[in-house]
Structure 1
Amino acid sequence: MTAEPDRPAPRNAGVRLPLVLMALAAALMWGSSRMTWVTVSSSDGLTEPRTNELNGGVWFGALTPLALVLLAGMAAVLATRGWPRRLIGVLVGLVAAVTAVPSFALLTGSGDLEKRAAALAELPARATVTAASTAPLPSVLALLAALAAFGASVLLARMPRDTAQLSGKYDNPVARREAATEEVSKQRTADKPDGALSERVLWDALDAGTDPTEDTPKAGAQAPDSAGGQAT
């Protein structure tokens, strides 16, 4: 028997890249949330000047929850097929858009940086912001995460319906054994050698009670009984 790759591998190959992109996006978002996005210095005239470092979890509070949403989306992709999987792709695209907005705004200098930094640092009303600086690296990481999530969303939204359905079919052991028996029957009808079947199909056929080496499916075993009945 000639060993061939398992059937589920090529059908699942289209899902692997979106999953990798979603995992990458989640990792980048989590890493960015732990880094300092904005450093603000302030003075209130009564105490010593102080400096506050605002990490991604403070500056963009939804960053970590969005990363968790992507991880949950990965599990949902594996558990679904067809249009629900494409719907997950749309939701992943929304996550990408939400992630990109604050990082893009910070990189381009949009909005009132000092006012937002003072509010997030919970400075007293009498305090005055003397300086506010941004770190570009965490914003770039968040933007890359958004791009990775967007790429995953496009791949999921454009995933062919038949590919997803076949993947689910061959992930089901019962359906896989039925399909293997059907392929063995087709192989016998076409009078082709057993080597044309993959090793996975042969084993599934054996599990289903079908011997791929027989010329006909248990027809020979029934012939003597039939002949005996006619003689009687």
Structure 2
Amino acid sequence: MAQQTVDKGLSRLGAAGLGLGGVTVALFSRAPWMHVSYFDDRVGGGVRDLSGAQWSTEVSAVSLLLVAAAIAVLALRRLPRRVIGAICALAAAVAVVSPMTLLTGGADPERVRVLLTAGAEDVQARAGSVSGMAELTSVELNSANLALTTLGFALAIAGGAAVALRPGRDSAKLNKYETEAVRKQKIGTDLEENPDSGRVLWDALDADIDPTDPSPDGSNPAGGNAGTRI
């Protein structure tokens, strides 16, 4: 039996990049991206952490997309995995803007205030929201968490690009059922046209087709016993 080698291109390596990137982003987007110190005349001062998921909600969504895509790339055929690779590379390239902007330009104090007060009521309700009258005294970025989140997106961009550019070829097994159906249909036609051919009979037996009844539904298309030769 001839050994067949299937070219997977860079799909496996790309899937690893997508998966590792997605997991990295998921972990470090839930970690604090900044530590905010504030002071309130009524209740005094305090420190609040803002995570990446709070600062940029799309980051968490993209991390889930990347992990799911890594699994899909290994299971799907050539064209779908190429499309998925391109979409993930684009999504990661858009989402990485947020942590990179913080690293290079710092945080916008007004946005920090909004997230800590009215704009983050759903997030801060359990821990107690910061009063809108509070004064922000400092915003300290967690450069390590931001850098690792950026690294995760970089891995995902590289992985998605690898899958999109080099998706490889489909295994013959993926076409097994389509090929088998076409083959059986052809053998059935050959049995009707040339039922005495030894080659056709052997092909039918090899394809698990009863040469005495070549029709797919078990009825004899000839209407009689024309195909009873063995």
TM-score by shorter chain over 0.5: yes
1:135 corresponds in structure 2 to 142
Task: State the secondary structure of the residue aligned to 2:34.
Answer: strand
**2:15–2:160 contact (8 Å) kept in structure 1:** no
Return the alpha-carbon distance in structure 2 between the equivalents of residues 33 and 156 of structure 1.
25
Q: Deviations over 1:78-131 (max 9, x none)?
A: 34323332221221112211221011111112452x222222122322111011
2:173 corresponds in structure 1 to 170
Return the alpha-carbon distance in structure 1 between the equivalents of residues 83 and 177 of structure 2.
28
**1:95–1:146 contact (8 Å) kept in structure 2:** no
Return the alpha-carbon distance in structure 2 between the equivalents of residues 13 and 84 of structure 1.
14
Stretches of structure 2 lacking an aligned partner (at least 5 in a row) = 118-129, 182-204, 208-230
Return the alpha-carbon distance in structure 2 between the equivalents of residues 110 and 53 of structure 1.
15
Deviation for aligned residue 1:44: 2.0
Tell which deviates more after alignment, 116-125 or 36-45.
116-125
Return the alpha-carbon distance in structure 2 between the equivalents of residues 111 and 49 of structure 1.
20
Cα distance, 1:51–1:110 mapped onto 2, change above 3 Å: closer
Name the structure with the higher helix share: 1
Deviation for aligned residue 1:19: 0.7
Stretches of structure 1 lacking an aligned partner (at least 5 in a row) = 179-207, 211-232
Equivalence map 1:3-152=2 (5 Å) = 7=4, 10-12=6-8, 14-110=10-106, 112=108, 114-122=109-117, 123-152=130-159
2:211 corresponds in structure 1 to none
The number of residues matched between the two structures is 172
Return the alpha-carbon distance in structure 2 between the equivalents of residues 7 and 17 of structure 1.
21
Q: Which amino acid aligns with 2:79?
A: W
Q: What percent of counterpart residues are identical?
A: 27
Return the alpha-carbon distance in structure 2 between the equivalents of residues 173 and 14 of structure 1.
23
Deviation for aligned residue 1:176: 9.0
Return the alpha-carbon distance in structure 2 between the equivalents of residues 51 and 111 of structure 1.
16
Deviation for aligned residue 1:29: 0.5
Return the alpha-carbon distance in structure 2 between the equivalents of residues 120 and 136 of structure 1.
20
